[in-house]
Amino acid sequence: MRRQWTTTAGIVITALLTLFLLVPVLLSVYAGLTVNYARGISAGFTLDWVKQVWALYSDTVWRSLVVALMTLALTLLIGVPGAYALVRRGGRFARAVEEIVTLPVAVPGLALALAMILTYGGAGSFRQSTLFVVVGHVLFTLPFMMRSVIAVLDTIDWRTLDEGAASLGSPAWRRFLDVILPNVRPGIVAGSLTVLTLSIGEFNLTWMMHTPMTKTLPVGLADAYASMRLEIASAYTLVFLVMVIPLLIGVQLVAGLTEKRTAS
């Protein structure tokens, strides 16, 4: 009886917390679809605000997708081999490198952006390009990719697998592609999900680093909140959700398929 009461209380608390988090989002979506939020449902519903947002800020949507995908590609190319190299090397040096890589997470985004501007602000074409924002995102998200892969490597006997493949004459690069990567796939998928969500929603770092020509979706959202009427700003939130939610569901589906393949 006591266990049943505890379970019921846990479900109720979880439901209340979920409702507490969802209500503001739902109200924002509602405001973006009403003709006049102050008048409420009686004013009717419209998609005009969404159309205005798309006309004004559609470039920020596509740019955010490009930045997120480029960030993901670079974190995969750097983070997965880097995580394997650190685990393989081990010792104090590997731990020191891991701490240095993790440092951007502990530093406020504005401070990291300021450091980037001070270092590369003189490189005009690079400073004004989308690649400059991508580099900032890579610095911020790389630790999450590396930690996800390292966590999986720590749970498997990768050394035995590697030595077994080496005894069969497989070169180092082939062992990494054919042995290590398939076994760390869950960590790669989890890291990819984290990198995508962080990159798409990142504001502090991007706000400091962007130029008028490299504005991303969260920065445009802040501009809409500051300078537009409430309905347009709320419609921007709706556009943000429509873009992000299918992407997250897609990555989750890939993660589920990966777990099934790994289990089989």
Cβ neighbour number for residue 183 with a 10 Å cutoff:
17
Residues of the chain under the 50 pLDDT cut? none
Q: What pLDDT shows up at residue 255?
A: 67
Q: What pLDDT shows up at residue 3?
A: 59
Q: What pLDDT shows up at residue 74?
A: 95
In CATH terms, 58-263 corresponds, of 1.20.810.10, 2.20.25.90, 1.10.3720.10, 3.40.50.720, to: 1.10.3720.10
Please state, in angstroms and rounded to a whole number, the distance separating the CA atoms of residues 95 and 221: 39
Measured N-to-C along each axis, helices 2-33 and 230-263 cross at an angle, to the nearest 10 degrees, of 130
Residue 215 main-chain phi, psi, to 5 deg: -70, 135
Show me where the domains of the chain are located.
1-46, 58-263
Indicate whether this model's pTM tops 0.85: no
Please state, in angstroms and rounded to a whole number, the distance separating the CA atoms of residues 60 and 238: 14
Q: What pLDDT shows up at residue 178?
A: 82
Q: What pLDDT shows up at residue 5?
A: 61
Torsion of CA 89, 95, 101, 103, to 10 degrees: 180
Model confidence pLDDT, tens digit, residues 92-135: 888 888 888 888 888 888 888 888 888 887 777 888 888 999 99
Q: Locate 247 and state its tokens.
A: 């992407």
Sequence-ordered alpha helix ranges (H) in 90-167: 91-106, 109-120, 124-127, 130-153, 158-167
